[in-house]
Amino acid sequence: MKIRSAEFIRSCVNPEQFPTGAVPEIAFVGRSNVGKSSLINSLLQRKGLAKVSRTPGKTRAINLFTISTDDQTLSRFVLADLPGYGYAKVSKAERVQWAPLIEQYLSQREQLRMVVVLVESRVVSTQDGETIAWLRSIGHEPLVVATKVDKLKPSERVAALRRLQKGLGLDDGRMLTVYSSVTGEGRERLWNVLKEGCRT
Ligand code: GTP
Ligand code: MG
């Protein structure tokens, strides 16, 4: 998979800013600091495309990117980097403002073909489980990606992933995809799953 171009479209803070047209969209969600922006940059092999920050909660709007690739099944799509949820330091007023936009985008956006939920390999979070359950309740079967897998020792890996799978309610034979933005592990596989999910 070769990325022909990857360009920032805009930061959306209200639905009127969402693009019109039929280009398929793939959304990336997850708790703040889970590594969304890093994964997006790694996936697209564009270093500064999505802003990576040491201060959790930096991505505050729905950031859209338009991607074109050399692959026929996924030659053009819009990638949506959604604001991280569950970061306490974000003011209450801001959280109240964000939630409806994200909920509306995820539940009503017709162009949305796939929702990728990023979770941290070492952390079983109730909030992640609730997000996955909520997405299912509105008709999405999210792809769950365990990030920062390089932080797991080889000896810890199997147990950690099993714990995650169980804790998130994925124990119905569903595979958990792993990813490391540091080593690039999982990149090829993630592309294949995205392609598979957007075929139809
Ligand atoms: P917000 O936009 O603030 O919600 O965060 P985010 O989910 O976009 O996370 P971001 O990509 O900004 O990464 C957060 C921190 O985790 C940064 O310090 C990254 O360097 C680090 N990080 C991200 N991905 C990985 C990874 O695969 N491995 C390791 N070891 N660190 C990572
Ligand atoms: Mg981010």
Instruction: Output the domain CATH number for residue 164.
Output: 3.40.50.300
Q: Whose CA is nearest to atom 9 of ligand 1?
A: 35
pTM (predicted TM-score): 0.91
Residue 23 has pLDDT above 60, yes or no: yes
User: With b meaning 16 or more CB within 10 Å and e meaning fewer, what string describes 119-138?
Assistant: bbbebebeebbebbeebeee
Q: Is 181 in the pocket of ligand 1 (CB under 6 A)?
A: yes
Longest dimension (CA), the chain: 49
Report residue 107 as tokens. Answer: 């539940």
Q: Which listed ligand is nearest to 148 at the C-alpha?
A: 1
Per-residue model confidence (pLDDT) at position 130: 87
Average pLDDT, the chain: 88
Which range scores top for mean pLDDT: 85-94, 111-120, 173-182?
111-120
Q: Whose CA is nearest to atom 21 of ligand 1?
A: 35
Which phi and psi (to 5°) does residue 146 adopt?
-90, 115
Contact 7, 66 (CB under 8 A): yes
Burial class (CB in 10 A: 0-12, 13-18, 19+), 188: exposed
Report residue 173 as tokens. Answer: 């034979």
**35 is in which domain, residue-wise?**
3-199
Q: Is 148 in the pocket of ligand 1 (CB under 6 A)?
A: yes
Report the number of distinct structural domains present in the chain. 1
Residue 182 has pLDDT above 70, yes or no: yes
Mutate to test the pocket of ligand 1, among 38, 63, 65, 89 (most ligand atoms within 8 A of CB): 38
Per-residue model confidence (pLDDT) at position 38: 93
Contact 35, 181 (CB under 8 A): yes
Higher pLDDT, 103 or 151: 151
